[in-house]
Amino acid sequence: MSEYDIVAMGAGHNGLTTCAYLAKAGKKVLLLERNWYPGGGVSTQEILTPGYFHDLHSSVHIMIQGNPMITQDELGLISQHGLKYKYSDTPHVTIFPDQDVLVTYKDIDKTCESIAKLSAKDAESYRTFVAMSQSVLPLFVPGLYKPAPPLGQLMAMLDSNDEGRLMLDYMQRSSMDILNHWFESDRLKIHLSRLVSENLQLPDELGTGMGMLLMPGIMHTYGVSQPYGGSGKLTEALIKCVEHHGGEIRLNAEVKKILTSGGKAVGVEMSDGEKIMAKDAVIGSMHPHKLRQFVDGVEEPVLARAEKTTLAPFSLFVCHYDLKQKVEFKAKDPAVKQAIMLTLAATDNMREMQEDYDSLKQGKISKRRLLAGNDESHSDPSRVPPGKGMWHSTGFAPFSLAEGGSSRWDEFCEEFGELQQAGFQNFLTNLTPDNIVARKFCSPMDMVRDSPNSFVGGDVHGLAPYFYQSAGHRPTPDLGQFKVPGIESLYLVGPFMHPGGGVFGAGRATAMVMFEDLGMDFDSTVGGQVDADLLATKTRPAAPKDNIMRLYDDQSDEIMAVNSIDTQGDEIVIKGKTFGTMPLVARLGPADLRKALKLALSPKKLASIVSMLFKR
């Protein structure tokens, strides 16, 4: 019987992230992966022909770009373990049926020039909209990579100022509601709605508008990226980090049950009967719908709420092609080959596209295709043999078909793949039999088979991104703090947890919770590792002459302006504003003050503090 400090069920990128932090802190960790390959949805493989490297699921890494795991290189993924991102000045392009294109450049001025060809009014509206989006990023982005507060608490906080109320308003709207308010061009609406639909949300669903508010600001601030060599290079770097710090990963290792004793998770039982014990904690990458299957002793109301969580209203159909020559497009705009995200719009009429989304919701096959794709070899020749090409497409499809349900996909897969290929050929000149070396179609049921404990119902993002399943209520109020009530030392990680599906590096939040529970200092584990020559750093700004004390984070971004420090009874009360207008009150009682003095007043620190009083 083996024993480790931490045992993790699943080696997807989120579980790997959590374990990398724990291993760096000196914990003996073991990750158990049921598949023959690690990474889950972040995996790149030679699935057809040797030398052609395809991403199985995730391809574009957007949301992880604001994660301190990347911006501060907390795990050494960039400086030590080989991760290298490619960025394009052209994050997103939509090609329309007449082969005209609409381009989102990272540069806002060039983007507005592209939009102005459709509507000068929309171009100016877009500029205003992006400025608004960027203004709320400081309030929103830091919370993506740490535990979130309960939803009610978050709502109360947001309702205390104008920026927060704006976010609260948009959170409860649909993308279409927002687009119709701001813009007049159907082509621009299609371009933007297809972008946020990559989060598996329908344009007219209430409670999903936050993505529409944030995505333009994120694209123009952080850009869009892919790892050189494929999405799986993030997984490879995380594995190197775990192993560098003494952690282990076992493949073809399926967990049957999480072992509990006295209301505490103590290990796992494998499908072959082996038991592996965990001294400190067990991490479970298991969908809330699967909680009952893997854990005994959870109270029935907790299980019932977990099993009522809502999946996305549609799934994905993925096509992989190995090609003799790189893809050529009918559209001649050079931005098409430079785009990281490429949408192939089958219509330029928003009402028609909405009909196609409605068909998805009803389990029907629409007469038009909802397609996106790219030949990654244009910007990364390492993905294919010299001179060759590839085509990788992610299209939308219903999980449960109106005729035959989800089980019909096994017989319908090739037929639907042919429909997708016919749709591609409206935009590509050489996706033809004489150029195709091999091809493979992957249905929504194949998504489930790839990751049955995360991609339930073909939802590769774990759960629908609805307002009631957000922040500390994702997936439920019971489970939203990455723990299972009544089962001590059992922690949750996966796309169904905050902040959501996609490549976030979201396991960082689970790690932060575990560090606190295990009595470890997260900041001291990750701090001091930034390579100043590798990562862009900011120079701390000079203090404004307004007599306001300011607190800055480790990237010299202002996090709080202190307006007053008073005493009330036996407390010190610090009042100020965070993120510009968000009121913040901090209270220090006698015990807190003693701890603060103990942390600050060593002889060396005291001398440093005194010397600072005489500096500008």
pLDDT tops 70 at residue 133:
yes
Ranges 131-135, 152-156, 280-284, 569-573, most confident: 280-284
For the record, the structure tokens of 29 come out as 């960790």
**pLDDT beyond 70 at 119:** yes
Query: pLDDT band for position 198 (50/70/90)?
Result: very high
CB 479, CB 299: distance < 8 Å: no
- 544 band by pLDDT with thresholds 50, 70 and 90: low
Residue 26, pLDDT > 50, answer yes
Residue 356: the pLDDT is 97
Q: What is the Cα 459 distance to its own chain's centre?
A: 14
- Reported as a single tens digit per residue, the pLDDT across 199-238 is 999 999 999 999 999 999 999 998 889 999 999 999 999 9
pLDDT at 531 over 50: no
Least confident residue range of 296-305, 540-549, 570-579: 540-549
Q: How far apart are the first and last CA of the chain?
A: 61
The residue-averaged pLDDT of 110-129 equals 97
Task: Inform me whether the pLDDT recorded for 411 exceeds 50.
Answer: yes
Per the DSSP assignment, residues forming a β-bridge with 13 are none
Report the alpha-carbon distance of residue 593 to residue 612 in Å, rounded.
Answer: 21
Q: Is the pLDDT of residue 41 over 70?
A: yes
How far apart (Å, rounded) are the C-alpha atoms in residues 557 and 221?
15
Give me the mean pLDDT over the 257-271 stretch: 97
Contact criterion met (CB below 8 Å) for 147 and 506: no
Instruction: Indicate whether 150 pLDDT > 80.
Output: yes
pLDDT in tens, 480-505: 999 999 999 999 999 999 999 999 99
Positive/negative CA dihedral, 112, 118, 124, 128: negative
What does DSSP say about strands 487-492 and 255-261: parallel, antiparallel, or unpaired?
A: unpaired
Question: DSSP label at 425?
Answer: T
Tokens 């200092």 found at: 521
Confidence of residue 529 (pLDDT cuts 50, 70, 90): very low
For residue 515, the tally of other CB atoms under 10 A from its CB is 20
Q: How many CB atoms lie within 10 A of CB 199?
A: 20
pLDDT at 541: 47
Handedness of CA 184, 207, 64, 163 (dihedral sign): positive
Average pLDDT over residues 237-248: 98
Average pLDDT of span 6-33: 98
How confident is the model at residue 74, as a pLDDT? 96
Name 248's Cβ contacts closer than 8 Å, sequence gap at least 6. Answer: 4, 29, 30, 31, 242
User: What pLDDT score does 547 carry?
Assistant: 62
Residues 6+ apart with CB under 8 A from 121: 184
* pLDDT at residue 177 in the model: 97
Distance, in Å, from the CA atom of 206 to the CA atom of 194, rounded to the nearest integer, reads: 16
pLDDT tens digits, one per residue of 440-476: 999 999 999 999 999 999 999 999 999 999 999 999 9
Percent of the chain with pLDDT over 70: 90
Answer for the pair 575, 566: CB distance below 8 angstroms, yes or no: yes
**Bigger pLDDT: 565 vs 98:** 98
d(CA 131, CA 125): 10
Q: What is the mean pLDDT of the chain?
A: 91
What is d(CA 438, CA 441) in angstroms, rounded to the nearest whole number?
11
pLDDT at 536: 41
Contact in structure between 281 and 9 (CB atoms under 8 Å): no
Contacts of 471 (CB under 8 A, 6+ apart): 143, 148, 149, 150, 151, 154, 480, 498
Note the pLDDT of residue 578: 63
Sheet holding 370-374, edge to edge: 101-104, 92-95, 341-345, 370-374, 389-397, 315-323, 436-442
Can you tell me the mean pLDDT for 13-34?
A: 98
Q: How confident is the model at residue 534 (pLDDT cuts 50, 70, 90)?
A: very low
| pLDDT interval class at 601 (50, 70, 90) | low
- Segment 72-89 shows an average pLDDT of 95
Q: Which of 480, 485, 475, 483 lies closest to 297, judged by CA?
A: 485
Q: Binning pLDDT at 50, 70 and 90, where does residue 58 land?
A: very high
pLDDT at 570 (0 to 100): 79
pLDDT confidence of residue 167: 86
Whether 237 and 82 have beta carbons less than 8 Å apart is answered as yes
> What is the DSSP pairing of strand 436-442 with strand 315-323?
antiparallel
What is 111-158 written as a DSSP string?
Answer: HHHHHHTT-HHHHHHHHHHHHHHHHHHHHHGGGGGSPPPPHHHHHHHH
Paired tokens of 209: 């508008």
Q: Confidence band (pLDDT; 50, 70, 90) for 616?
A: low
Closest CA to 283 of 23, 511, 25: 511
